Amino acid sequence: MRIAYVTPSYLPDIGGGEFHGFYLSKTLTEFGHEVAVFTKGPFRHIWKEKVQDVEVVRLPSLIKGHQYLLSSLGREVLDFDPLVIFAHGPSLICDRAAVLAKIHKIHFFEWYIGDITKTSLPIDCLARVYNNFHCIIPLKIARKVIVSSQITAMLLLSRGVSKDKIKVVHPGIDPERLTPSVPSEDARRALGITHQKVVLFVGRLGKDASQKGVDVLIRSIPYVLAKCPGVLFVFVGGGQTESKYRKACIQRGLSENVRFTGTVPDDRLSMFYAAANCHVLPSISRTEGFGLVLLEAMSFGCPVVTTKIVGGAEVVSELQAGIVVDPGDMRALADAILTLLRNDQMAERLGHNGKRVVKRYNWKEVAKQVEKLIV
């Protein structure tokens, strides 16, 4: 089957959505489908390339640097002559793909990643209006709407999307990309960690970092240290707000107990997962559609702490692989971290449970579910 895969961004950009799009398009290609990815490009002209056997068409933006306003989308997709258009939404490029599919009678499917939200109040109000608009037109056109969690499914149901149209498919991981190659103690020595316990956060420190709950996590650190000294909090991931959070930690007198690594290669990321006593994803916003880093940490046997608003919390609860707290509750977050740091038997049990994620949630299983829906 010929599938046009439309997504706002794609590798080498780094993020949950980018990895999601890459692994799903790659696996569908391995299943024998002819897949072409249509996404934003860095140039003022169309750029076509192969990314691990996947055809990628990078399109110029009508406004330079704007990832959604891609010119030539309709012409390039129609030249590919797909039987199916599969798009990541909500996004303007997804809206255009839906209308294109409707006009030319092409089967349209969407993976609804999660609501768009912004930190600026006026822009956030516009984002909310857009989220509702997206349910009125593109999701009405879609034959099926895939979501990553029951939380997102309930959200769309509340906006009038038909229950029969919604299908929950949890994302997966690539067990070959990140592998537990060294024991925890060896990983700590290699990373120069001398602290007794390690708490890990993995994620981009971009403009949306506050929505990932980074501010809440930093505020919880003094409380954790007061009851459990000798803990190192490691923030893996770079971005525009990294320097802001570094300064915040210095001002709080936390320099000895906090490390910011910036973006790291996969082999080094594997060592941080191996070295950690627990992984924390304290998101406070629905922009965190699922939280693939939770699955990554669990695959290393690392117990996790996350919030009820994160889609991946459903998997954490199902596998009994960590602790789930209310979003934005700094005290509850700190108490959950302390519970794992001070109870080795419990942490080991939850970590062992989490390792089952490798068999249950990998991209081949995800792609099989998607294939059944679109074929």
Give tens-digit pLDDT for 230-261.
Answer: 999 999 999 999 999 999 999 999 999 999 99
Q: What is the mean pLDDT of residues 198-223?
A: 94
The total of other beta-carbon atoms located within 10 Å of residue 147's CB is: 25
pLDDT, tens digit (0-9, with 9 covering 90-100), for 128-160: 787 777 777 899 999 999 999 999 999 899 989
Domains and CATH numbers, the chain: 2-168 (3.40.50.2000), 184-360 (3.40.50.2000)
pLDDT above 70 covers a percentage of the chain that reads: 95
Q: Work out the pLDDT band at 63, boundaries 50, 70, 90.
A: low
301-319 confidence digits (pLDDT tens): 999 999 999 999 999 999 9
Tokens 């693939």 identify what position?
Answer: 292
The residue-averaged pLDDT of 31-42 equals 93
Give tens-digit pLDDT for 66-125: 555 566 789 999 999 999 999 998 888 899 999 999 999 999 999 998 777 665 656 667
Cβ(166)–Cβ(250) under 8 Å? Answer: no
* Number of neighbours of residue 241 by Cβ within 10 angstroms: 18
Number of CB atoms found within 10 A of residue 22's CB? 23
d(CA 257, CA 146): 41
pLDDT given for residue 163 in this prediction: 94
Better pLDDT: 172 or 285: 172
Please determine, for residue 272, whether its predicted confidence score (pLDDT) is greater than 60.
Answer: yes
So what's the pLDDT on residue 293?
95
pLDDT of residue 280: 98
Query: Quick check: 210 pLDDT over 60?
Result: yes
> 41, 70, 77: which is closest to 58 by C-alpha?
41
359-365: average pLDDT: 90
- The pTM of the full predicted model, rounded to 2 decimals, is 0.90
Mean pLDDT is lowest, of 12-21, 235-244, 271-280, for 12-21
Cβ burial, residue 256 (10 Å; 0-12/13-18/19+): exposed
